[in-house]
Amino acid sequence: MKRKIIITLSCVCVIAVLVVLAIHFGFGGSEEQESIKPYRFDSELSTEVQTISNGSLKLEFDPTTTHFTLTDRFGNQWTSNPEGSDAAGRKELQSTVVISYTDTKGVSTQLDNYKSSVEKGNYSYEVFPDENKIRVDYTIGQIEKVYYIPLAVPYERYEELFNAVSEDGQKEMKSAYRILNYEKLQGKDELAELLKLYPDLEEHDVVVLRENTQEWKKEVVEGYLAEIGYDAEQYEADLEFYNVETTEDKPAVNLSVYYILDGDDFVVKLPFDEIEYYTKYPLTDCRVLPFMCSAGNQEEGFLFVPDGSGSLIYFNNQKYNQTQYTAKIYGWDYGMTRDVVVNDPEVRFPVFGISYTEKEQSMLCIVEEGESYGYIEADVAGRKHNYNYVTAGFTIVHGELADVSGRTDGGVYLFEEQLPKGETISLRYRAIDSSSYVDMAKDYREYLFEKYPSLAESVTGELPMAVELIGAITKTQQILGFPKDKPYALTTYKEMQAIIQELNDAGLKDLSVIINGWFNEGVVHSVADDVDLISVLGSKKDFKNMLSEISKSNQAVYLKADVTFVYKNGLFDSYSTRSDSTKYITREIAEMQEISNIFYAIDKEGSDYHYLAKPKFSMDTIDSFLKEIKDYGTSNVAFNSIGNVLAADYNRKDPVSREAVKKLHIDKLGSMRDAGSNIVLYEGNAYLLPYADLVINMPLKSQGSNIVDQEIPFFSIALHGHLNYTGDALNITGDFITNLLKTAESGAGLYCVLMDAESSALQDTESTEFYGANFDSWKDDIVSYYQRFEKEFAGLYGQTIEDHKIVAENVTMTEYEDGTQVYVNYRTADYQLSDGTVIPAQDWIVVGGKGGN
């Protein structure tokens, strides 16, 4: 308590200082930054095509353009840039790297490395044949091409070079250079400025390159000097005479791209440690090989994007009036502020691809490292240019607009002070000798098994069934005539036990029972490092007895908790908003409110503030929570936000990157599994799947992007038989029929949310998402659907999906290992197959196998 009071009394002083600090240190302070030395394609580098091969792949790299051709293990060829891009009139199409930098006003400018690096000669490369690797170094920016000619030297040095070159070279040097003489400059206004640049001008003449010397002239002089051995080393030595470079005032970025042949895969890496940029012009966005997966407007095929469980965008679909597909990998970073949400698509699996129908080949790209900074972008030919493409982009330096109103009329943008050390962006390309999205999904399956061997183990064939029981919510109640927010019982501990017993008696077995709203005031609970049961739900004995009885009936029980966000922060709990909350880039505490589903902005009236806890605090909370629930005889946890929320901490004193938080989650859940805990995740970011016994709310359908043409169960094909998962809850979803049909098509398990109270109990509360969860209203339907799925799909849940077809518009077929086929009809009318079999409207049939027709 004393600690909190001291912090509270300090808040006013801290807030007063924040604005001053933001303005003063917004761009890394006023310290001078060393000039970025541009890379240079010099005469020592070969212009011949460079080839590396590992026996499976061959890469032919053209040093004059930095384009390449990749020959895969099947003999198919892939190019870094689309065919005909050199004639398309857009330099971006000829680029292999596209970046954006942002100035002090928050204005973003895009540059491509073809126009702003390759054409200027500001790049270099090195081949490592023993490592099957090529590194290409780029200086991308608004800087002049670097010529290896002196910029300013004492006359004696100039004379040495002048006397060494040929007679023709001397003529060119005379016209390119100006001799400064102190005596002749007497009385001229420029003398004072020249003395600042050349302090020894009084002692001897200085020779400088004339201003506005044309590029061709510099190139000619460079050629003559190169004949006498003048090289980069001498150029760098001559720069030491005088500080005459001005590149530090212009936007420029140095970065290195590595092309690596790794077995059958082509890997591209962009190390953060090899990125340089000016803090006045931070590198905010980068796309590497933006057109590696592209196709012209005369080709047939599709772009694969990880929308929902996977979606296809057909080439040239003429959806020019729809926005391009853009979705953040692993969703929004809650370490960043946002006030409005209109469209918020999320990607749970960092993978995309392209397929060519006529060529019968496809390419899959897996964002392997640094994916949490990334987004997937896709568009069709006809909007920006004549090419369909899909790619990944990355936010490199994160920045935000700081609110400093009262001190300035304009906004001040603040950025991260430095990039995370040792991190890398890595993309893995895998060629597939097929144009089928099923084969693409199977290839991704192989990748997942290689990376996560535990996923290769098959699950049982039993139907996964999750039942989430809602205990208490917060509701305003009258206490002695005064309104007060208190826990309100929707399902007591005894009622939870009775519901599961009733389901068990009806034949529902092997359930995953998730207990929600059971401690610390309910569903929206306080810090989970200290567990207090809720008296209106029952006694400690009731709770322990409920857990024991459910476990005895062979049902697994998971206690749900949120350790990422902190709600209901009290004066006497362990959480300090000042020291235990993450910080935005603006140095403000990550204090947030819910976004309204009605007007898509912050709901300032309808929701309380909550906080994003520091990553370390969250991990420590898990340890404390596990100790607490051990007293109740369990260590099984259902995480509310770990697995679907990945947020960085931009605290300047102790920043934790999004990738570092990802690793913390992986390590923590890994240690939990090793210690015997079973874990349920919601939605399920790919990196945590090996540690989950069950994934709930796994995306099974598109998130509504209009540019998408066809939904496919890509991730179900990749994971079925090796991971238990469900879609949305059947009884509280917005579209019950579609959800049920997607469950059948995807081979998913069933999930429902239940409470004993009537739905009317939710009136005047913030828990209206549980309307429809009344057990009595749903129990007959739940039993009926369970019996049907158990009969028709039992045994299939341990099998892989081997095929999937779009039989007709809104009619699909999913085939399993043993040949069982599931036909799903999304239409409002019956559909008849060619053999006469009828699929009822908005229903499915199972053909062959156990329980099939």
As a whole number of angstroms, the distance between CA 792 and CA 816 comes to 13
pLDDT band at 147 (very low <50, low <70, confident <90, very high): confident
The one-letter amino acid at 547:
L
Per-residue model confidence as pLDDT tens digits over 363-380: 999 999 999 999 999 999
Residue 413's pLDDT is: 79
* Structural tokens at position 101: 């930098």
- As a whole number of angstroms, the distance between CA 413 and CA 400 comes to 6
- State the average pLDDT over residues 79-94: 85
Q: Is residue 218 over pLDDT 60?
A: yes
- Partnered with residue 248 across adjacent β-strands are none
pLDDT mean across residues, the chain: 91
Tell me what the mean pLDDT of segment 709-730 comes to.
97
Residue 407 has pLDDT above 50, yes or no: no
Kindly report the length of the chain.
853
17 confidence band (pLDDT: 50, 70, 90)? very low
Give the pLDDT mean for 777-787.
Answer: 97
pTM for this prediction:
0.88
For the stretch 593-614, pLDDT in tens is: 776 665 556 666 656 789 999 9
Q: What gap in Å lies between CA 430 and CA 442, rounded to an integer?
A: 12
Degrees, nearest 5: CA angle 817-822-825? 155
C-alpha–C-alpha distance, residues 785 and 792, integer Å: 11
Q: What is the pLDDT of residue 28?
A: 37
Rounded CA-CA distance 825/807 in Å is: 10
pLDDT for res 403: 65
Residues 6+ apart with CB under 8 A from 850: 794, 795, 796, 820
Range with the poorest average pLDDT among 210-214, 489-493, 636-640: 210-214
Please tell me the predicted confidence (pLDDT) of residue 18: 37
Reported confidence tier of residue 27, pLDDT bands at 50, 70, 90: very low
Q: Would the pLDDT of 3 be above 60?
A: no
Please tell me the least confidently modeled range out of 31-35, 181-185, 274-278, 816-820: 31-35
Q: What is the pLDDT of residue 5?
A: 40
Between 482 and 217, name the one with better pLDDT.
Answer: 217
Inform me whether the pLDDT recorded for 644 exceeds 90.
Answer: yes
Is the model more confident about 23 or about 371? 371
List 489's β-bridge partners, or say none.
472
- 33 vs 452: CA distance, rounded Å: 43
Q: What is the pLDDT of residues 560-578, one digit of tens each?
A: 999 999 998 777 788 999 9
Between 528 and 13, whose confidence is greater? 528
pLDDT at 224 over 80: yes
**pLDDT interval class at 292 (50, 70, 90):** very high
**Tokens read off for 846:** 């199972």
